[in-house]
């Protein structure tokens, strides 16, 4: 296996074909942090999340190769889905972010539709999230198969913040998104249909086509009629989520995909349970406020605080 540079790994837009200045190669990693995240540590962290990585890396040879670091995690994380005939190929990178990267894949014979989205999370120490403790409040810790963790030693490790405990929190963060997608899809909320969860990856319905992913709502221009209908639909969805024990907690026009008159609400790892979270009403109000702010550009007047309060009273009191 070829070695990869830590700097390449952390730079989601790295392209090995483009010459880079020396200053660019060291940007973002300095001193003790650079020493701690060695090339081998990165590879070890990737392989720690893969089932039988050596076998999968040998059998799976996707069309999309990407940068050097991408080849490592694509082959090792998605190989299991290839073996299970849930994907047949990786076609392109759709979106890179500080928490995860999404790829467009050809569906395997046992997956629905023609295309599948694979959301691969960065290993725990390379995620860049702020205040994620806010969203963990009141949550059960979920294991690698989505089951609640009851083991006393494991819970102590999490409480004490050991390396093992932090790793379990990372796995739980991913499992929570998959569990939320399953619950909300079953409740009829327009979220991507979840397909599978394993290997640091959530496999789900793809929105768009092979050439172009569905754009986020913030970059779409709607007719006034479309805007009014979508505004009403999203508010109903927020209340349906609330009725089914979920508040998105980061909902905005950036987390709604719009494609040929249909839409999907995405990105649920930070969603919270309104029955157990102390700031649930505040997070609900923030979600509703962001929706109202976006649709104000179409001249749709609303009172976000009153809308959120009314939802809360109907569903929670």
pLDDT digits (tens, 9 = 90+) for 84-117: 999 999 999 999 877 899 999 999 999 999 999 9
- Average pLDDT on 290-299 reads 98
Cα-trace Rg, the chain: 20
Phi, psi of 29 (to 5 degrees): -135, 115
Two structure tokens written together for 297:
């550009």
Q: Give the sign of the dihedral formed by CA 105, CA 198, CA 248, CA 293.
A: negative
Give the per-residue pLDDT at 49: 54
Tokens 């990372």 belong to residue: 170
Q: Would the CATH topology of 39-205 be identical to that of 217-316?
A: no
Give the per-residue pLDDT at 7: 41
Residue 247 confidence (pLDDT) above 90: yes
- Is there a catalytic annotation at residue 229? no
Per DSSP, the residues of 150-162 read: --HHHHHHHHHT-
- Average pLDDT on 137-157 reads 79
Three-class DSSP category at 198: strand
221 burial type by CB count under 10 A (0-12 exposed, 13-18 middle, 19+ buried): exposed
Per domain, the residue ranges of the chain are: 39-205, 217-316
Cα–Cα distance measured from residue 285 to residue 247, given in angstroms and rounded to the nearest whole number:
10
pLDDT band at residue 124 using 50, 70 and 90 as cut-offs = low
Catalytic residue among 267, 278, 282, 287: 267
Which CATH number is 217-316's, of 3.40.1190.20, 2.40.50.140, 3.30.1330.10, 1.10.510.10?
A: 1.10.510.10
Closest-CA residue to 116 (of 86, 96, 83): 86
Give the per-residue pLDDT at 257: 98
Catalytic residue among 250, 273, 278, 282: 250
- Average pLDDT on 180-190 reads 98
Domain at 39-205, CATH homologous superfamily: Phosphorylase Kinase; domain 1 (3.30.200.20)
Give the per-residue pLDDT at 129: 52
pLDDT, mean over the chain? 82
Give the per-residue pLDDT at 167: 76
- Is there a catalytic annotation at residue 24? no
- Average pLDDT on 186-215 reads 95
């Amino acid at each position: 296996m070829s070695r990869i540079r830590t700097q390449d790994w952390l730079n989601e837009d790295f392209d090995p074909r483009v010459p880079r200045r020396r200053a660019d190669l060291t940007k973002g990693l300095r001193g003790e942090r650079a020493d701690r995240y060695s090339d081998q540590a990165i590879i070890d962290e990737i392989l720690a999340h893969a089932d039988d990585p050596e076998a999968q890396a040998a059998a799976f040879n996707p069309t999309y190769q990407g940068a050097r670091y991408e080849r490592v995690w694509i082959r090792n994380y998605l190989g299991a889905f290839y073996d299970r005939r849930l994907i047949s190929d990786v076609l392109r990178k759709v979106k890179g972010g500080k928490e995860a990267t999404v790829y467009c894949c050809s569906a395997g014979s046992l997956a629905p539709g023609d295309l599948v989205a694979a959301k691969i999370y960065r290993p725990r120490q390379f995620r860049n999230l702020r205040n994620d403790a806010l969203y963990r409040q009141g949550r059960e810790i979920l294991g690698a198969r989505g089951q609640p963790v009851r083991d006393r030693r494991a819970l102590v490790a999490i409480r004490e913040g050991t390396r093992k405990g932090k790793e379990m929190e990372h796995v739980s963060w991913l499992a929570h998104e998959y569990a939320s997608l399953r619950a909300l899809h079953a409740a009829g909320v327009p979220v991507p249909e979840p397909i599978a969860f394993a290997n640091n990856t959530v496999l789900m319905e793809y929105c768009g086509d092979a050439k172009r992913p569905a754009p986020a709502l913030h970059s779409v221009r709607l007719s006034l009629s479309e805007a009014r209908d979508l505004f009403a639909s999203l508010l109903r969805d927020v209340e349906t989520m609330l009725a089914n024990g979920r508040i998105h907690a980061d909902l905005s026009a950036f987390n709604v995909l719009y494609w040929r008159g249909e839409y999907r609400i995405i990105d649920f790892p930070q969603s919270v349970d309104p029955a157990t979270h102390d700031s649930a009403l505040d997070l609900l109000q923030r979600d509703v406020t962001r929706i109202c702010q976006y649709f104000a550009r179409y001249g749709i007047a609303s009172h976000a605080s009153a809308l959120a309060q009314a939802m809360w009273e109907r569903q929670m009191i």
